[in-house]
Structure 1
């Protein structure tokens, strides 16, 4: 362990002078408020410091619209709508009734439903449209619109204001013009891949997507959501291909993911953490061989797509993590009732669980039951609060970073995942469990805890600001690694950062340290 100066923790004369100046300039009570405000200002300053092109990433959707939307009535014929679309050279028509948007028709809908013979071209267009389409507001930012397309697997979004007035239609091509190599294209290629090899080729383009998103000025929260969309699509498509080969599953099941993918906070370099939840009709002797083959195809396919095997074997191939719904419920109950060191470690992994393929209702019922158990078990909450508080924050007494040598001789640096992000995740999880919340992402958990009044709004937003700032530092470091041809990691040498970023990274670390104290006082009686 070394300080950012490189030699250790012994302060120099300049360190002491800086400490005195800092204490004089920041009285304790004022310092708390200033730190939080400085972090919020820093996030805004980083965004405002981007180029004009980069500002477009967070700009309004309205600025991307190129023409007025073409509209039709539900009782217009399919033939008439198709003719008008061809005359105007558009791929989308909005269906409006009584001044209200009721549907959307795309050229893909017409090819599939009309040319496929499902609907005659003399029929009302209402039979071919997609009813109640997903919409976006004109003032929504462009990156959020692209995220909606990726999550919902759509290529067009009607743009509608709060009064129901139609402003236009945003297409995937509009976003491609803004972002370059579009994450949408990567997700689309994964979802349409004919075999596992094609899935792997498509998923391995996510580093290109990372560069495009970071270069376009997309904030780190949205970047991790985009990377999570790619990972989720990869899991789902590989499972689908395995089912096509093996035949239908013998009993209902859910493919679940844990950790950062469950929270939709994936970064480059994340390994795989997954498992199966079977219906209670599962019989190991009769059904086990099918699911073992499915699990093997899944984890091997993910590894080939750049999601490495989990060194801790938290994968569906490990039968400990491929169990019936009742067996999973009993396991969570035991973890909560006996919060020893091993079970607390399991908490940090498996309490972040989400279904990405299969029968989602299995997971919904499990997570509801677990949330109720955790909220009612104050001893369990006190143990996970202490666990969150015991993590070391990498700040020395004289405001220097405490750096650690890499495991493979990389040199002294901060490990932002281990030293900060993991602790923020733990703090948010404690508050969410105390609130009985089913939220998963850090920001959603903290805001749900604030709504339940187990955390103040100010504290929630302060933690969210710290999380966003640290995530942005990590994401830009990973993008720099991709550009330079080196392997992206979670490690950052603070000596490579600007003075602005170093100072505000220290602010973020102090926020973490303060909230470690808070969770212990609130849930563990102040005892670490």
Structure 2
């Protein structure tokens, strides 16, 4: 018999991160363990200094105020907000008090059930770390403690993606010969919360923290006269310089620690350069992904709000590119935020279209093109599809899904994503189909390939599940691989397509530009340079009967693993693609467009050289394709 309470919990959680990242089966299992709690207005849920229990919380209805000891409000948590993460992430006493601002219904999530899911899903870890850090950062902002304008410039967003500054004072260290008392006195004199214990080579062999002193000396059985080696934690988790704040937060969370040592090579077998604490990370932050995510996912967020947030994300990307933040990291964060905007639009559209799973079955919204490949730094036009598994395959059901898709596409247009000029959108009846019909379409494209069919696969085979029943997308991927196992003609034609654009330099090493049209004398970086690499990566993985990972960069990483004899070439191709993504994004920001076209004569010498160098892997990888698929002599 169906458990109504469990299903109500499931139906609520599935619409809010990080639970949106769980599989339906895992979420249903988790929902069965959730405890429903009612907190009357003005009642405390937990206090400052209280040890966390075995739950963290999600607000179902009502509101929770998180405040400091002096009563200053740090944050208000309302419907769908996650809070009280310390029992899951930090294992330390609460730093804020939680009080019901009105009659509030909470879902208490058991950490014992959730922790294994956290370990299996890095995306959930990243989200929760960002959310946790945002809360800590807000607390420090509210208090003003040790936070200067220089440390927290108000104009910077998502600073946890930037490398942590290393211009801090020399680390405080001690030797293994110290007693615990001497080590504690040294920490007090220097005003630090940790002491690195180093050997004669200045290699870290252990770390002593103020928490160790409180818990194991003051509250335990260890005596102050004992050697520091009896109390210190060992080995020390070490990192190299230059890691992003988000990476450091992730390491702390996964290892349940609050300090990291910086060493010359990132291992304990090299000299200490510094130490990073959880507090260091906090005071480097002003806003982070959780801030944007929280705004996107508020139930009250309107399409106008989403447009404003997306414009802020554009500004954020501009700063990242100027500061030369790693392109893979930039792509990952903008893709995740775009996904959440799409999810929000689909959710609202589904409600307005009268969709219900019981009446209409399950569906999955698919991103195609650059969004499907997680490569959309700049806002370009929409490319999408919808696959559904109906309860009844009839015209009425199709009408509901088309209506849902049309509303979603319109909402995304209002947010700032242009309509696709070629109508490659889920609102097109051809691209809103049942799983059975999609399988038939894909099978036809593979077994009866012409130029049009091959072109379609270069668009649609880059699909990525964004919202809904992701098992439908997985079924499509498995179907594609099954079809490829019985057909080599399609791969041959896909190979011909992949080499149709040779390296874009003339005999005299000038850029090949457009000869006519609106962009005459301009260079098309997408068609001439980026797509040859993207097409090559897709082709080579499909030939291995592997469904390509989302991004072109990850595809080349997979190819390095599958073909170690060509690892150097694939690395060069990945490096070239990263350069091209950055150049296109910079050009788009400069010209306030998609960045696809630009005049080579306007590039400075360094950019021209970088662009030229990125063409060499195109020539080499196309040579490999011609040989492997026996195209030599067919295409020059």
Q: Does the TM-score normalized on the shorter chain lie above 0.5? A: yes
- Cα distance in 2 for partners of 1:162, 1:230 equals 23
Counterpart of 2:510 in structure 1 is: 400
Contact 1:378 1:523 in 2 (8 A): no
Please give the per-residue CA displacement for 1:365-405, whole angstroms capped at 9, x wherever unaligned: 11122123225532211111111111143201121112226
Q: Which of 70, 84, 95 does residue 87 from structure 2 map onto? A: 95
Structure 1 unaligned residues grouped into runs of 5+:
1-69, 149-155
Counterpart of 1:294 in structure 2 is: 404
Q: Cα distance 1:373–1:118, how it changes in 2: closer, same or farther (>3 A)? A: same
Contact 1:157 1:171 in 2 (8 A): no
- Cα distance in 2 for partners of 1:109, 1:455 equals 58
Counterpart of 2:526 in structure 1 is: 417
Post-superposition offset of 1:166: 3.9
Q: Which of 525, 541, 560 does residue 450 from structure 1 map onto? A: 560
Please tell me the root mean square deviation across aligned C-alpha atoms, in Å.
4.0
Q: Cα distance 1:111–1:274, how it changes in 2: closer, same or farther (>3 A)? A: farther
Please give the per-residue CA displacement for 1:103-129, whole angstroms capped at 9, x wherever unaligned: 799899956899735479xxxx96799
- Cα distance in 2 for partners of 1:310, 1:300 equals 11
- The 5 Å alignment of 1:260-409 reads 260-279=370-389, 281-404=391-514, 407-408=517-518
- Cα distance in 1 for partners of 2:318, 2:98 equals 35
Contact 1:417 1:490 in 2 (8 A): yes
Q: Cα distance 1:162–1:281, how it changes in 2: closer, same or farther (>3 A)? A: closer
Counterpart of 1:516 in structure 2 is: 622
Counterpart of 1:51 in structure 2 is: none
Post-superposition offset of 1:102: 8.3
SS at match of 2:391: coil
Please give the per-residue CA displacement for 1:392-446, whole angstroms capped at 9, x wherever unaligned: 43201121112226743x5622111111111111000011111222312112112
Contact 2:382 2:425 in 1 (8 A): yes
- Cα distance in 1 for partners of 2:588, 2:339 equals 20
Q: Which has the higher contact order (CA 8 A, sep 6+)?
A: 1
Structure 2 unaligned residues grouped into runs of 5+:
1-48, 58-63, 75-82, 119-124, 130-236, 260-276
Post-superposition offset of 1:269: 3.8
Bigger mean CA deviation after superposition, 496-505 or 107-116:
107-116
Q: Structure 2 length normalisation: TM-score?
A: 0.60
Q: Which of 105, 115, 121 does residue 131 from structure 1 map onto? A: 115
- Cα distance in 2 for partners of 1:172, 1:300 equals 40
1:227 is aligned to 2:227? no
1:491 is aligned to 2:475? no
Counterpart of 1:195 in structure 2 is: 302
Contact 1:478 1:488 in 2 (8 A): yes
- Cα distance in 1 for partners of 2:56, 2:532 equals 58
Contact 1:466 1:508 in 2 (8 A): yes
- Cα distance in 2 for partners of 1:361, 1:321 equals 18
Q: Which of 317, 330, 347 does residue 240 from structure 1 map onto? A: 347
Contact 1:190 1:234 in 2 (8 A): yes
1:251 is aligned to 2:331? no
1:429 is aligned to 2:538? yes
How many residues matched?
Answer: 432
Counterpart of 2:590 in structure 1 is: 480
Contact 1:143 1:222 in 2 (8 A): no
- Cα distance in 1 for partners of 2:422, 2:55 equals 59
